Each structure stands twice: as structure tokens, then as C-alpha cells.
Structure 1
């Protein structure tokens, strides 16, 4: 069975509320965009810079995948595979990517829904805990391929979905190495192995989160056991799957090829510049201002709304965050800055209201970086900001 979604065109009504005449169309110094494309550090695991190399799945065009279903001698299936596919995974996950990428990415999944294939070992025997080793993970994947016992087309990502009864397969990691059968036959760039968390908590969004890893995006939640929202709150699916604003951050949309260079302004020299940003969640317009600090660190300003994938957002406005190419996944390579640190937040996290607005907190100074960001106006959904770099 093959799933693909047509591109969806979204058109939103605009209510014009003039609060100030925009000035960003006036001449102002602009840096060459390449100055702000921080290069990935290949020695930092899933470095958040441009050009990271780990046989990443494609993020533009078609991402091809094959999906198979498995159960276990101790935890067998009593549901149907089409039911699992329809209720938990597709087509919602493919639609999510279509909207997040502005139609640039088509997730094309070939799914064998004929049956659950019986694994050769019990679910409990795989010792599926956090900290699962690559070797144990590979054994699980190769057991599944052996249970399938039929040729699988070469794809970008192999999805292995267990029965909902397999509670011992607790969570859904991504295998980041090349996927091969035990005899060495190449199958895919990466494999996402779903777990019980997809059924219990995350639903189809776990596919989007884990496929983000297949495209070499890092985790933005902490690996040290701290609160999940420590670094970015609920502002990105790679940080908190259940967050109120799960759309990918503009920096990653740029890295993935979903934003073009002319949709990003680069500030790399001292001075004052003005910029008009449109909501990240809808296509078209300027989406981010990147202020370069040095060759490994930058500050990003983007406009978040309650549109599209962020319809549950509990705060809107200019979101500020830092990017470091020297911090590995789980260590906080992206960190949201909070202009209102004692507000109590919203939606369950202090950082979920960390935005600058026209009628609230409108400016923020990053003293160590000698940068000030100020909201100076709004027309309709667009915001004008002034960036001062000294």
C-alpha cells in the first residue's frame, strides 16, 4: 500500500491592524547571507550547522519510506495493520510535513499492511530501555527484516511498527546508521522503530519527530534528566512533541531547504537595521533574521503565530533563540531566550510565552552579545523589528 499526499495550498484571511508605518523597506546595510550560514562541526553529533554529513534522509522532494508491522511471541497483535496505519500514523504525519515544509517535502510511504510479522524473540528479551545500545537496536531491526523474509525496496527510511500490545517496546528511537540485513543487503539510510509511546501519548507526531532525526535534526530537550522544556519550551517538535507550538524553528527550516536564502536576513556587522517578518507557519515572506555572533554561534529572531501547525500556541510574537554548532544533540544547541522570565509561562512551560509583542514586552537586550531586538510596529500579521548590534 502506498501513501502520498498532494500539495496543499493554504490561504488565510488577513485582518489589517495598522499600529505603525513599516520602515523596513528603507535602505539599510545587509550582510551577505552566506556569512550567517554557520557551518556544521562534523565532530559534534548532529551539529546544528549547515552541511552536517551522516547520510541524512532528504528533506526536499520525496522522502521514500517502507513500513512493516511486527508482533512478538509474548505480546501478539489483536488489531489490524490498516487500523494502526490509519489511526496513528498516516496520512496525518505526511500532511504535517507538507504543511511544515510549505509543500517542499513529500513523505511517500509504502506500507505492507497484509499482517503483523512475528519476531523471533519475545518483546521483553530486547531490553528496550532508554540507553538502548546501537548493537541491540540493530539486532532488533535485523530480526524484523528476517521475520519479513522478503525483498524490501531500497528507501530512505525503514519504519518498523509493533503491535499496540507490545508494551515492552516502550519508546521510539531512530537508528542513525545504514540499515542492512544480516547478510549485508542495504535497505535504508535510517530506521525508525516505533514503540508503545506512539500509542499511549504521541500518535503520528512521533513519526515526524523521529523522521526529523533521519534528516539529521538533533533533539532539543535535555539528556541530563532535567525538565523537557529546559532549553526551548514547547516551540519545536524536536524539543517537546506535545508542545503547543510544534512547528520546526526557522533555523532548521532554512537548513532543511524549506526556506530560501531571500527569506532570511543576515546581520553580521555593527549598526542598526530594520526587518519585516511574516508568520513562520504560512508560506511566503521574510521568515527570520539571523544575527551572527561568531563562526559557531548566532541569534535568530522569527515571528510565531497561532496559524497552521501552531494553532494551539498560547503566545505569539517575536521568538528569540541562540544557535550553537558546537553543542551536540541533547545538550541545548538551540536555546530560547525569555524576555519575561518571571511570567509563569503558559501551556505548561515558562518558555511558552517567551515572545516580544507590540503591546507587551517589546524589546530584549542580550548584553553579552551586544545586541538589542526591538519590536517597533505591526501591519496585519507582519511584525517590524529593529536590530541594534554594537
Structure 2
């Protein structure tokens, strides 16, 4: 009988108090209703970074249900004592990661059949598992795994297929974004993540969080053209460099996923100066982002990043600025972190990893083409007070 295991998954204080007690009319305020900054997704752009993208996305609030099976191959067979070893490699750390990043809004609930490895009908090498893997071959691999499993799986949001760590020919971990069905047409899941050797060799459990991000319709933020992985965003988000020092999701995506509510985002859509106080993305509560709308498809996002929570390896806490475009596809740079410290050399291996404004360092940055200036004017612990000038 299959063994099934589930994982569900000072002085400033006085100043701050005074500021919060001042009437709203005496301080500059956001110039638009927050809905004006919810840039609509372009449905013709693959994994558009806007709101409302529709590709039967897995749920990002509540429970995301998944089923995990384990496979091996005649040419690269399992030598692990039990699939439990591989289950524990990915879980429950990945579920905990989502609980933390989502402020408790998302429960990754994975049922894993750890009774045995199911033998695939073809050799690992025969799948030609390299970059450029076709959707057809990927689907055949998934259907081969389901045939090898040969048991009913109650419909779930995501099917995880985990190969033995000896399967070096299954080189990387792509996500299949279409409906998952058996060869006889039985519906199984909205999406499937097929893990590869890169998880064991390089990325660790975070590969599950990255790929599951795709099941929720998040794009890749690293370049597909072979350039350096950190070209667009450095190591600031898990959907870019998985092993980056600051892997927590951008506030923009946390808003899109429903992990931030509208009251935690300020929207600026008209000329003038506004004042804002932001708390770090990594901590619960408080205002998390300012979005400056440039047009119907582009916006500037300002957020605060700290060396806490999921970003304990961050090498440059402060105010992060990045642009978002809803008409640029995944892997082409839909999000670009602005290098507010050009020529610094960066930190933790990438020029953009120190691209933050601070009170005592570089405290102001102007996007000339957009006519926007962002200035840090005060701090309260890890909270930042900013002014934003829009021409």
C-alpha cells in the first residue's frame, strides 16, 4: 500500500508618533486611487507581469495543493534507501518558505507517495533533457511518469515529479504550464513541475519555490539570451537568481499574488511631491511599496529591503527601485532593478546587489526619462521615509 505523507505546508520614535498624528491634509499624499497603479496584464504576452493574467494559474492565497511522486530509470536507477530522503530534501522547507514570504497567506500542501521509486519506461538519456526541451517531449515525460505510477491521483493544483538524485541526464527543472492529463485524458493537475539534477547540485529546495512560482504565473526575471543571470535584477528575487542573497519576492509580485492588500501600497499617478513611510518587504505589516505609474504598461516600484526574514544574506539593505513592464515577456526583462550605485562593483557577486538608496549613502536617484526623483529623508530602524517628486 502506498505510503502517503502530507505537509501543510528614541528620538525617532517620538518624531514618528508626531508625524502619524499630523492631519492628513498637512502632508503630501499619494495622488491616485491605488487601483490606477494595478497595471493590467497583457494576455498576449507570455507570463505578463501585470494584474489579472489568466493561464489557469495555481492559487496563491489559501491552499495550493500538490501531489509528489518519485521516479528512476533503467540507466540511472535510484540508490537512495527511500524516496523519503528526496522528499525531505524539498519539504517542508519549501512550504515554510512560502508561509514566510506570503505572511501566512499561502499554504503549500503536498501529499507525497514515498512508497517507492516508479520506473520510467524510457532511459533518462533518451529524453534529451537539455535547454530547448520541447513541450511535446516534456509532456511525454510527464505522461510516462503517470503511466509508471499507474494509480489514481485526486485532482490537484500541481503535480511534482522528482527523479532519483542519480538521474544526471535530467539536467534541470522546468515547469509544464498546460493542463496535466494522463494519456487516456484523465485530468490530474493545472501544472506540473519536473525536477532535475540542478536542484540537488546547485539550487537546493528553493528550486521548488522558483518553479512553483511559475505555476502561479510568475515570469522568469533572468535573461534567456545567455547573458549573466543577474542582468536584469541581480540577486533580488527568487524568480531571477535562485541562489541570490535576497530571494524574497518583489513587493510588486506579492501585491499581484494577494499577499499584500491595497492599503499596503501607495499609488502615484500625477505630477507633484508625495511623502511615504515604508517598512521592509520581509516583515509583516506596514506600508510595503510605492508604485509610480508611468503609463498603462509601465511603472516604477519603490520598496524597502532588509537583511531579515528570507533575506538574511542580503549585502545591501535599503530602498530598492525597479521598473515593471507588462508587455515584456518572461526571460526578456519584464522587471529591471535600477542601478542607483553605478560603478560600485556591487556585492555578493553582482553589480546590482547593492543597488539601494540609504540615508547615509546615496540617498537620492532621478529617472530622467520618466521625470521621477526618489529621495530618502529619514529612517526609523529599518523603516524609511521617502519623498517622491514627479514632474
Normalising by structure 1, what TM-score?
0.96
Show the counterpart of 2:12: 18
Q: Give the Cα separation in 2 of the matches to 1:274 and 1:328.
A: 33
In structure 2, the residue matched to 1:301 is: 302
CA contact (8 A) 2:42 2:50 kept: yes
Residues 65 and 129 (structure 1), Cα distance of their counterparts in 2 relative to 1, 3 Å cut: same
Partner of 1:365 in structure 2?
366
Q: Retained in 2: the 8 A contact 1:320–1:336?
A: yes
Contact 1:20 1:377 in 2 (8 A): no
1:27 aligns with 2:27: yes
Post-superposition offset of 1:249? 0.2
> 1:9 matched to which residue of 2?
none
Corresponding position of 1:385: 386
Q: Name the counterpart of 2:209.
A: 208
Contact 1:19 1:378 in 2 (8 A): no
Distance in 2 (CA, whole Å) between partners of 1:311 and 1:340 is 21
Deviations along 1:282-332, whole A, 9 cap, x unmatched? Answer: 110000000000000000000000011000000000000000000000000
Q: Which residue of 1 aligns with 2:276?
A: 275
Task: Could you tell me which runs of 5 or more consecutive residues in structure 1 were left unpaired when the two chains were aligned.
Answer: 7-15
Q: Report the counterpart of residue 351 of structure 2 in structure 1.
A: 350
List structure 1 segments (4+ residues) > 2 angstroms apart after TM superposition: 1-6, 16-30
Distance in structure 2 (CA, Å) of the matches to 1:39 and 1:377? 33
Which residue in the other structure is 2:85 paired with? 83
Within-5 A mapping of 1:160-239: 160-239=161-240
Instruction: Please name the residue that 1:2 is paired with.
Output: 5
Once the two structures are TM-superposed, the CA of residue 232 in structure 1 deviates from its matched residue by: 0.1
Instruction: Tell me whether 244-253 or 16-25 shows the greater mean CA deviation.
Output: 16-25
Q: Specify every segment of 5 or more residues in structure 2 that has no aligned partner in the other structure, as ranges.
A: none
Partners of 1:241 and 1:21 in 2: how far apart? 39
Q: Report the CA distance shift for 1:233/1:244 in structure 2 as closer, same or farther (over 3 A).
A: same
The two structures have a TM-score, normalised by structure 2, of 0.95
Pairs aligned (count) = 380
The residue number in structure 2 matching 1:321 is 322
C-alpha contact 2:268 2:290 (8 A) present in aligned 1: yes
Is the 2:278–2:304 contact (alpha carbons within 8 Å) kept by the matching residues of 1? yes
Aligned to 1:240: 241
Query: Hey, what's the Cα distance between the residues in 1 that align with 2:227 and 2:294?
Result: 27
Paired with 2:330 and 2:119, the residues of 1 have a C-alpha distance of: 34
Cα deviation code 1:157-185 (max 9, x no counterpart): 00000000000000000001000000110
Give 1:4 deviation, angstroms.
3.0
SS of equivalent residue, structure 2 residue 352 = helix
